[in-house]
Amino acid sequence: MKKIAIIGRPNVGKSSLFNRFLQSRKAITSDLAGTTHDVKRDCIELEGLSLSLSDTGGIEERNHQETMFLFKSIKEQALKEAGLADLILFVVDGKLAPLDEDLSLFRDLQKLKIPLFLVVNKLDNAKEEERIHSFVVFGISEIFAVSITHNRGFAALKSAIIKVLNIQPLRYEFSDGFMGSLEEEMLSLGLHQDKTQEEEYDEIKTAIIGRVNVGKSSLLNALLGEERSIVSEVAGTTIDPIDESFYYEGKKLTFIDTAGLRRKGKIEGIEKYALQRTREMLDQHAHIALLVLDASAPLVELDEKIGSLVLEYGLGVVIVLNKWDVRHKEIEEIKKDIKERFKYLSYAPIVTISAKNKKHIMQLKEAIIKVYQQLIYRIPTAMLNKTILDAYSKHPIPSKKGKIVRIYYATQYKIAPPHISLVMNRPKALHFSYKRYLINQLRKEFGFSGVPIFIEAKKKGERSVDGECMQEEQN
């Protein structure tokens, strides 16, 4: 297995880069220098192949007697890890001019005669990227301007790693004996993997939906910490979607307060326009929906109909139980009612809040970030196939007219939300109940909290047709 080591001084973003590759937060990040002491290792997947990735401690010279021994040990461990690698990613802080300490450490690493990339981090916009020219003093051409926090430049860095390590796409043997890459097979099926989705979105667009007067505008104000949206006891105050943005945990969150929805027979005048605008927004702009329910009154059928918009537009979802401080009965009983009425959203997390009193707003923000991370997660191909084929071996698909039904392999060809294609010998024999079984296995293995999962079955050589995706059945 090929190895990549991340090396650099403290607080330059090494652990953030490590987490970016892993698409998780396994390494603790902090503004405090020296947060990482020991070497952390994990596996990542590029082009279907597993690689070892190491996050090393920040290398720094210390003269203070109490800390000198610790930082000397950290440096020894980091350099030892670098010597075992096939590629070294040397990370520096792009907001600072090139430092003598960085240059000295870089020269030491060059002596190892191992491929070496200079990763200039914290260049958060195009203007700051101009600073990259000052780093030519390092004397190499493999310089990459990135902003790990804002997810800039990561795709170019990953492509260069694939090239320098000569990583070839994993090749599969298909049922007819043809050997080919998964990408070639996907093209034959019309499954064009969306390369624009390899990186995270610049912003997380979250729609606030619910029936009239459940507290959507109050929730927007609580999230923003200011009175941005008009709050009134008069139902239907919000007509045009209102959107506001702020940064939270390095992510730009954009919230859209939509018009409250009524039963069809009660929609009149300008509210018809509002409903149309809400649907357009959900279809074209939203990634996640906050389905707001009123804990002060019993649930109604309209709540369920509004919840179905989440599935209709393939959105991530958090169920927000507002007014919990004036609930009409105990929270656990209300949650039980939600689970019974919203069986089709059984995967959605439930957060209780009081928008008026700004209670549990922080927990809601954290739930949104978690759903977003699951929404953009791409399951490594090898892990996806292991999960699907393990599930198939435990519970094979019932034969069709005495003929065996086989799953050859699976591929996730899209994120946000995840779309998975199963290549089979008899795709029409895959019943919705078996798809639901596979989806449950994927949730058990990978989580996908608050995220719908779409599965379609394909025969080798059959091209995708819009609208054929299969998601969790409502029945």
Model confidence over 143-179: pLDDT tens digits?
Answer: 999 999 888 899 899 999 999 998 876 555 444 444 4
Across 127-141, 197-211, 461-475, least confident range? 461-475
State yes or no: pLDDT of 452 exceeds 90. Answer: yes
For residues 275-300, give the mean pLDDT. Answer: 88
Model confidence over 337-381: pLDDT tens digits?
Answer: 999 999 999 999 999 999 999 999 999 999 999 999 999 998 988
The CATH code of the domain that includes 121 is 3.40.50.300
pLDDT at 26: 45
Distance CA 151, CA 128 (A): 14
Q: Are residues 331 and 393 in the same domain?
A: no
Exposed / middle / buried, residue 355 (Cβ in 10 Å: 0-12, 13-18, 19+): buried
Q: Are residues 187 and 207 in the same domain?
A: no
Q: Which residue has the higher pLDDT, 207 or 460?
A: 207
Distance CA 307, CA 343 (A): 11
The CATH code of the domain that includes 391 is 3.30.300.20
Where helices occur in 270-420 by DSSP H, the ranges are 270-284, 301-312, 331-341, 361-375, 381-394
Q: Are residues 189 and 224 in the same domain?
A: no
Render the burial of 155-178: b for 16+ CB within 10 Å, e for the rest.
eebbeebbeebeeebbebeeeeee
Cβ–Cβ < 8 Å for 391, 434: no
Cβ–Cβ < 8 Å for 318, 286: no
β pairing state of 454-459 and 419-424: parallel
Give the end of a domain, one of 375, 410, 429. 375
Q: Are residues 279 and 330 in the same domain?
A: yes
Q: Which residues contact 202 (CB under 8 A, 6 or more apart)?
A: 150, 151, 252
pLDDT at 365: 95
Distance CA 289, CA 342 (A): 15
Cβ–Cβ < 8 Å for 220, 208: yes
The two structure tokens encoding residue 205: 């667009």
Q: Are residues 363 and 384 in the same domain?
A: no
Q: How confident is the model at residue 257 (pLDDT cuts 50, 70, 90)?
A: confident
Q: Are residues 281 and 399 in the same domain?
A: no
Q: Are residues 212 and 353 in the same domain?
A: yes
Q: Are residues 154 and 42 in the same domain?
A: yes
Domain count, the chain: 3
Q: How confident is the model at residue 185 (pLDDT cuts 50, 70, 90)?
A: low
169, part of any domain: no
> For residue 284, what are the domain limits?
203-375
Cβ–Cβ < 8 Å for 87, 114: yes
Q: Reading across the β-sheet that carries 116-121, which strands appear in turn?
A: 40-46, 49-55, 3-8, 87-93, 116-121, 143-145
Q: Which amino acid is at 88?
A: I
State yes or no: pLDDT of 38 exceeds 60. Answer: no
432 beta partners: none
Give the end of a domain, one of 355, 375, 395. 375
pLDDT at 63: 52
Cβ–Cβ < 8 Å for 9, 58: yes
Give the end of a domain, one of 356, 375, 394. 375
Q: Are residues 112 and 210 in the same domain?
A: no
Global pTM exceeds 0.85: no
Q: Which amino acid is at 145?
A: A
370, part of any domain: yes
Where helices occur in 182-268 by DSSP H, the ranges are 182-189, 216-224
436, part of any domain: yes
Q: Are residues 299 and 362 in the same domain?
A: yes
Q: Are residues 364 and 396 in the same domain?
A: no
423, part of any domain: yes
Q: Are residues 22 and 141 in the same domain?
A: yes
